[in-house]
Amino acid sequence: MKKNALFLLLFIATISSAQNNLPKPTKAQLAWHGMEFYLFMHFGPNTFTDLEWGHGNEKEEIFNPAKLDCNQWCRVAKAAGAKGIIITAKHHDGFCLWPSKFSKHTVRESKWKDGNGDVLKELSAACKKYGLKFGVYISPWDRNHPDYGSEIYNDVFVNMMTEIFTNYGPIWELWWDGANGEGPNGKKQVYDWARFKKTVRQLSPNTVIFSDVGPDIRWCGNENGIAGTTNWNTLNIDGFEPGLHAPTTDTLNAGNVNGKYWIPAECDVSIRPGWFYHKAEEDKVKTPEQLFQLYLKSVGRGANLLLNVPPDGNGLITKFDSAALVGFKKLRDESFKNNLALKAKALITSSDSIKFRGLVNDKNVSTFAEITDCKNEIIQLHFKKSTKINCVILKEKIKDGQAVQKFYVQVRNNKQLENYINSTIGNKRIVTFPALEVDDLMIYFLEGKERIKISEIEVYYINDNLTEK
């Protein structure tokens, strides 16, 4: 009997490892999926001029954050449960938050610390201290640099990235903004994207590069932090270029079902109306409940959430933003504390059999259940005692690609049965619905591109006010 069981396990392991033809994430992309939620920080001359897009001719002396404390930024990020920080090292106004040798418009020319300050140095050190990943936004568009609009600017951009990667690494994510206008001489730049990408790959092969069209991470198509209800991690980018020529925003939002490359979506959104700090927006900080909704519509749809929290003119995150972030963390902690799936028995049932095949409710994402016949097999979670639920989290084994195209969650007891149809799963899918006391939770798969691999199913009863609106 024992021998048979061992044989069966080996057999299952062999089928499970069978390769498919789906696009797959690289190791760095897979690790990126695990980051789920992190902070964006827009900081620079705009913080002091009350602008969103600086003109590039702002005097350097205006940049003077008297109390700047990157440790405080990191403490806030930690308290929010964020896993990293991406900082605007250079926004469109061209001002560099580090003393770049390739510009005369930097912290070195400012009054801050008599020109001896370096925000990237302080933030990269603080991130290391607090165990946060460090990412850098560097705008290709530059409204200050005298060489912008000429071939020389491509050298400048490469040199700036080289400085950043050499002096402040490791850089986990690099953000190339898509906005692209004229420089100080009225000329537009023809970017050498192939060279930029090669430079980054050479300097730091594990950095993931974001732009509207990848190469590693794509824009979700809006600045509201909302991924598509259908969200493929795959996209076709042949013939497209960052900032110039991208698929439609609808396509960026949903991905391409048969996309050739693994380029998952990142949802960027600000905690306030603007990206930079504005005193007038102090009472417009999103509430913990609004942030929770954004979480459901980004992370809960298989994307990552990049939430912007802009430091103020003192160089600190305000008490309004940090209170909202702490409240947001509390809502997540309370909602996802008690995984009711751990109390259920999981089976794969089909018209002619009931099988136990792999674990979906063991808190271990490396084990998984495989659906070999998607029209016929159902995952069933049976609760010995009727249990009130309104939230199901599903995770696909994306290491082997993304397969689920259409599925539905069925909740039922001996009097009532409700179905909730959904499309993709990917890294994580959070499905919420009106609460019901259930005996069984069934997952029916209607369409799958390949064999479906579900690594985890979690079940919760969250506050009724928090279900997806």
CA end-to-end span of the chain, whole Å?
Answer: 51
**Rg of the Cα atoms in the chain:** 24
Q: How far is the CB of 57 from ligand FUL (least distance, A)?
A: 17
Per residue, what are the HEC states of 392-430? EEEEECHHHCCCEEEEEEEEECCCCEEEEEECCCCCCEE
Give residues 130-149 in contact with ligand FUL (rule: CB under 6 A).
none
Q: Which is nearer to ligand FUL, 179 or 421 (CB)?
A: 179
Give residues 32-91 in contact with ligand FUL (rule: CB under 6 A).
52
Q: How far is the CB of 142 from ligand FUL (least distance, A)?
A: 13
Contact 430, 293 (CB under 8 A): no
Site string for ligand FUL, 279-298 (x = CB under 6 A): --------------------
Interface with ligand FUL (CB under 6 A), residue from 178, 320, 376, 410: 178
Q: How far is the CB of 177 from ligand FUL (least distance, A)?
A: 5
* Region from 173-181, 290-298, 327-335, 397-405 binding ligand FUL, contact rule CB under 6 A: 173-181
- Indicate the SS3 state at residue 405: strand
What is the distance between the alpha carbons of residues 162 and 423, in angstroms, rounded to a whole number?
A: 42
Give residues 212-231 in contact with ligand FUL (rule: CB under 6 A).
none
Q: Which is nearer to ligand FUL, 249 or 258 (CB)?
A: 249
* Region from 156-164, 172-180, 394-402, 428-436 binding ligand FUL, contact rule CB under 6 A: 172-180
- Indicate the SS3 state at residue 55: coil
Decide: is 177 part of the binding site for ligand FUL (CB under 6 A): yes
- Indicate the SS3 state at residue 67: coil
Q: How far is the CB of 238 from ligand FUL (least distance, A)?
A: 23
Contact 180, 92 (CB under 8 A): no
DSSP string of 85-145, one letter each residue? EEEEEE-TT--BSS--TT-SSBGGGSSGGGGT--HHHHHHHHHHHHT-EEEEEE-S--SS-
* Region from 71-79, 174-182, 416-424, 445-453 binding ligand FUL, contact rule CB under 6 A: 174-182
What is the distance between the alpha carbons of residues 430 and 424, in angstroms, rounded to a whole number?
A: 11
Q: Which is nearer to ligand FUL, 172 or 276 (CB)?
A: 276
Interface with ligand FUL (CB under 6 A), residue from 9, 66, 179, 417: 179
Q: Which is nearer to ligand FUL, 177 or 458 (CB)?
A: 177
Q: Which is nearer to ligand FUL, 180 or 463 (CB)?
A: 180
* Region from 78-86, 175-183, 355-363, 449-457 binding ligand FUL, contact rule CB under 6 A: 175-183
What is the distance between the alpha carbons of residues 170 and 288, in angstroms, rounded to a whole number?
A: 32
Strands 378-396 and 452-460: antiparallel
DSSP string of 224-285, one letter each residue? SS---SS--SEE--TT-BTTTB---HHHHHH--TT-SEE--EEEEEESSSSSS--GGGGGGP
- Count of chain residues binding ligand FUL (CB under 6 A): 6
Q: Which is nearer to ligand FUL, 178 or 184 (CB)?
A: 178
The DSSP code for 372 is S
What is the distance between the alpha carbons of residues 391 and 424, in angstroms, rounded to a whole number?
A: 16
Around Cβ 444, how many Cβ atoms within 10 Å?
A: 17
* Region from 21-29, 103-111, 177-185, 227-235 binding ligand FUL, contact rule CB under 6 A: 177-185
Q: Which is nearer to ligand FUL, 222 or 290 (CB)?
A: 222
Residue number closest to ligand FUL, CB atom: 179
Binding site for ligand FUL (CB under 6 A): 52, 177-179, 268, 275
